[in-house]
Amino acid sequence: MKLSNTNSDFLQALKQIVGVRQVLTAESRTQFYRTGIRVGGGTCLAVVLPKTLLEIWQVLKTCVAYDKIVIMQAANTGLNGGSTPYGGGYDRDIVIISTLKIDNLVLLNGGRQVVACAGSTLYRLEDKLKPLKRGPHSVIGSSCIGASVIGGVCNSSGGNLVNRGPAFTELSLFAQLTDAGELKLINHLGIELGETPEEILTNLQQGNFDHNPGVDDSLMASDRDYQQRVRAIHADTPARFNADKRRLHESSGCAGKLAVFAVRLDTFEEPEREQVFYIGTNDPRELTALRKHILTEFEELPEMGEYMHRSYFDGSDKYCKDLFIVIKYFGTAFLPKLFAFRGRVDGYMNKVPFLPNKLVDRTLQGIARLLPDHLPKRMRDYRDRYEHHLMIKANDAVVEATQSLLEEFFESSSSGTYFVCDQAEGEAALLHRFVAGGAAARYALIHQDEVGGIMPLDIALRRNDDEWYHLYPAEIFEQLAAPFQLAHFFCMVFHHDFVVKKGVDPEKLKAELTQILDDRGAKYPAEHNVGHLYRAEDDLRNFYQQCDPSNSFNPGIGKTSKCKHYA
């Protein structure tokens, strides 16, 4: 069918597919979807909210017919601006397809695997697996609460759980636009769903397929080699990083260059017993020694080893308290409602000239300041005494091994110590860490007259880099209003979320920082993908072009061309 290439006809075609109310065009209603959670943003012709997988396919076909750019978006938690438009320079209209309404999760083989559809979230998957005493590859979203399952796979995210590794699969269902302009649906889930796109997508949506399919051991549904890479502490390369071509496969690492409908992933048996140990020290070399001993001497590894510098302890404490309280008392299931409410209110309030931007965040920040202290006393004490903090979450037999190591290690230390968390302290410590990712954005909002922007650095250091605590010279920190620092410590992946002082040239500073990191043999980004902040390495750029030869899906990421066929 020959279609008229006018936007009015195009929008009408979208409305016939998903309904009038599911096609957003007003700036106030699209603002949430076209603005990055930390950085980035731009204009779009429309935001489409399909309710089924088949509707996504039909919307994609319509976008292709009218030669539109497509940005697939789930939870919009991308840290590097890769989930939204980014500035100008695009040669075609942009359509954002939000998949959050399609959150189907189907457990396979008694829950040992799961098929996660386009809009499913990590916290919903956790809840579904909890009765089976199993868990997903990561928890809540280590850097951003509310992350989607497929977003994690597409952006190589996760890895905070040492025994499970970052999100990765070789089993997925996706649409690809060929160089000849043909949209193909490719079923590599390893599950029989039918022949035509309509059959495949309808059967998947309705769960009409064998829930006990065979497992092909030659294809991975998780990163089975991760523990081995993490344990290689003398290696002169990082354990994991975004451009590692060993972990670029179809949907995995595609960063939206494919339209991913579903992924098939392994799940993991939850331990019978868990224990959180909280460590504080003023000598970071002690943490290095602990890391090396655990990774080389322990038969089994702890579940987690999360580092927080005092800067991020304070950032999470002051600027993420409201989110901590919401999750503690209402659970993660409440978050979609909160985020949706915030988006709607901000969309309307931002049009009122005399009101400040992001009024909801400002209000929540003010309310949180009036509430009682949310952190345990012993954590407060460690914050005042120690600059460096490490939380180790051990399980089953690893609990005794970890406690014995810490007792012996700190018996003669004058720089640090540890305590064994009770249940409330352990939950508070981990939640304090996991809400911290929002601190930089909230700080920049509250102090907007004093800052010149946010510079998130997502860094994979060499596994043998023992001086991780001393990366930058003093003159770098003099240009920062807030140098928030934390890490997935066992795998040496660091998040340095720097808020730049007003008047500092962010691009010049970033060039200085990246040169320092290059000289150290670091790779960046480690996870969360290049977005629009990093230049993609050659392996990654080539992978993007193989996935999307016409450059119609999420163009411009990795500082590539935003024009058709990468012109």
CB 80 within 8 A of CB 455: no
Distance of alpha carbon 226 from alpha carbon 229, whole angstroms: 5
Preceding peptide of 525 cis, ω within 30°: yes
Phi then psi for residue 294, to 5 deg, are: -65, -45
Phi-psi region of 421 (alpha: psi -120 to 50; beta: other; left: phi over 0): beta
Distance of alpha carbon 172 from alpha carbon 211, whole angstroms: 16
Q: Give pLDDT tens digits for 408-464.
A: 999 989 999 999 999 999 999 999 998 998 899 999 999 999 999 888 898 999 999
Question: Which ranges of 478-535 would DSSP assign to H, the alpha helix?
Answer: 506-519
pLDDT band at 71 (very low <50, low <70, confident <90, very high): very high
Phi-psi region of 255 (alpha: psi -120 to 50; beta: other; left: phi over 0): left
Least confident window among 292-306, 420-434, 482-496, 522-536: 522-536
pLDDT for the residue 160: 80
pLDDT for the residue 159: 74
Buried b / exposed e along 106-137 (16+ C-beta atoms within 10 A): bbbeebbbbbbbbbbbbbbbbebbeeeebbbb
Q: Give pLDDT tens digits for 27-36.
A: 989 998 999 8
Comparing 520 with 138, the larger pLDDT belongs to 520
Which residue shows structure tokens 């080389």?
Answer: 296
CB 522 within 8 A of CB 473: no
Enter the DSSP assignment of 437: G
CB 557 within 8 A of CB 256: yes
pLDDT above 70 (res 287): yes
Distance of alpha carbon 245 from alpha carbon 523, whole angstroms: 13
**pLDDT > 90 in the chain, percent:** 81
Q: Give pLDDT tens digits for 327-346.
A: 899 887 777 677 777 777 77
Q: Which of 461, 519, 516 is nearest to 487 (CA)?
A: 461
pLDDT average, residue stretch 532-537:
92
Cα four-point dihedral sign 330, 332, 333, 337: positive
Distance of alpha carbon 554 from alpha carbon 567, whole angstroms: 15
Distance of alpha carbon 24 from alpha carbon 279, whole angstroms: 49
Least confident window among 109-118, 161-170, 365-374, 418-427: 161-170
pLDDT average, residue stretch 179-204:
97
Q: Can you state the angle between helices 439-446 and 359-370, rounded to 10 degrees?
A: 100
pLDDT band at 143 (very low <50, low <70, confident <90, very high): very low
pLDDT for the residue 140: 59
- Tell how strand 113-117 and strand 259-266 pair up: antiparallel
Q: Give pLDDT tens digits for 99-135.
A: 999 999 999 999 999 999 999 988 889 889 999 999 9
pLDDT above 80 (res 4): no
SS3 for 86-106, per residue?
A: ECCCCCCCEEEEECCCCCCEE
Which residues face 356 on adjacent strands? none
Q: Which of 139, 63, 48 is nearest to 96 (CA)?
A: 48
CB 294 within 8 A of CB 233: no
pLDDT for the residue 42: 96
Enter the DSSP assignment of 360: H
Distance of alpha carbon 112 from alpha carbon 133, whole angstroms: 11
Least confident window among 40-49, 200-209, 527-536: 527-536
Q: Give pLDDT tens digits for 214-247.
A: 888 899 999 999 999 999 999 999 999 999 999 9
CB 9 within 8 A of CB 3: yes
pLDDT for the residue 5: 58
**pLDDT > 70 in the chain, percent:** 98
CB 277 within 8 A of CB 406: yes
Least confident window among 65-74, 120-129, 178-187: 120-129
Question: Average model confidence (pLDDT) for the chain?
Answer: 93
Comparing 181 with 351, the larger pLDDT belongs to 181
Rounded CA Rg of the chain = 23
pLDDT for the residue 1: 36
Written as six digits, the tokens of 346 are: 């901000």
Q: Give pLDDT tens digits for 465-482.
A: 999 999 999 999 999 999
pLDDT for the residue 144: 54
How far is Cα of residue 168 from the mean position of the Cα atoms in its chain? Answer: 13
Written as six digits, the tokens of 425 are: 């302290």
pLDDT for the residue 2: 42
